[in-house]
Amino acid sequence: MPVSHLALALAVVAVWGTNFVVIKWGLAELPPFLLATLRFAMSSLPLLLFIRRPATAWWRLAAFGVLLGAGQFGLLFLAMKGDISPGLASLVVQAQVFFTIAIHGHRMKPAQVGALALAVGGMAWIGWQAWRGGAGISPTGLFLVLSAALCWAVANVVARGAGKVDALGFMVWSSLFAVPPLVVLSVAFDGGAEVVAQALAAAGPVAWAVVFWQAVGNTLFGYGAWNWLLARHPPATVTPAALLVPVFGMGASALAFGESLPPWKLGAAGLVMAGLALNLWAASR
């Protein structure tokens, strides 16, 4: 991967890592599915008149939008409402690296099998703490975030199949398809239409700033750049760059919310990140 492409990947994961703190700020004022709805509505509706639809099938745009919107972020926001801390969420969602490689059908090298074993060990440790009532996570939160990671992995494969299309256009037009299912989920699970309307009316400047950053920084820049990289490099080369997301996520959460970093959490993070690092090394070889 050229240095410029590596720098772009690092910028993306820095945005994604610190974004877990931003999400928590937004969830303090908005229900989870409503926050996700507003994020993807702002990522698409204002820009459809100015950005041409990319040269790819409608089904691919729809599949990516639903997987990313209702799948990854709907489930992630729901978990972060009260079932998992921002730092742990930034770590667990990196299971998408191995999900992506497995779904794409790449034959794993022996070192990558070892990397997977390390990461699974770290996730199992987190699961044990969740079962014991460990601080910052519940079994429900772990399940939801792992499901979000699986949706992200499938979305990665869908995006890669589109080839070298306009990355920004792909994000804008696919985001449109995330909105309808998220509206339905918001009405169904956020407390009903009346509660959703009240939350919108009560949202302050911080909530709308969070929505704006979710749309522009995280979705249009983050996923647009990520898909651009996936179209030019094998998934096993690009996806391990997410190794740094938990570093930014756990660090930002500790600074912003005072999230504790007990030995078990650091140990589990070390196993997962060692697995991601070993996988990156194996892919580069």
Give me the chain's average pLDDT, please.
Answer: 87
- The pLDDT, as a whole number, for residue 265 is 85
Q: Is the pLDDT of residue 105 over 70?
A: no
- The pLDDT, as a whole number, for residue 145 is 94
**What is the pTM (predicted TM-score) of this model?**
0.84
pLDDT band at 236 (very low <50, low <70, confident <90, very high): low
- The pLDDT, as a whole number, for residue 106 is 66
Average pLDDT on 14-24 reads 91
Q: How far apart are CA 264 and CA 104, in angstroms?
A: 32
Average pLDDT on 201-212 reads 92
Within 8 A by CB and 6+ apart from 135, the residues are: 85, 260, 262
Q: Is the pLDDT of residue 284 over 80?
A: no
- The pLDDT, as a whole number, for residue 59 is 95
Q: Is the pLDDT of residue 271 over 90?
A: no
Could you tell me which residue, 85 or 223, shows the higher pLDDT? 85
- The pLDDT, as a whole number, for residue 177 is 95
pLDDT band at 115 (very low <50, low <70, confident <90, very high): confident
Q: Is the pLDDT of residue 88 over 80?
A: yes
Q: How far apart are CA 284 and CA 265, in angstroms?
A: 28
Alpha helices in 31-106 (DSSP H): 32-44, 58-66, 74-80, 86-92, 96-104
Q: Is the pLDDT of residue 244 over 90?
A: no
- The pLDDT, as a whole number, for residue 3 is 84
- The pLDDT, as a whole number, for residue 70 is 92
Average pLDDT on 81-99 reads 87
Average pLDDT on 26-30 reads 93
Could you tell me which residue, 135 or 227, shows the higher pLDDT? 227
pLDDT in tens, 165-188: 888 889 899 999 999 999 999 999
Which tokens belong to 247? 């570093």
Q: Is the pLDDT of residue 255 over 80?
A: yes
Alpha helices in the chain (DSSP H): 3-27, 32-44, 58-66, 74-80, 86-92, 96-104, 110-131, 139-161, 167-189, 193-202, 205-213, 224-230, 235-238, 245-257, 263-284
* Percent of all residues in the chain with a pLDDT value above 70, rounded to a whole number: 96
- The pLDDT, as a whole number, for residue 35 is 94
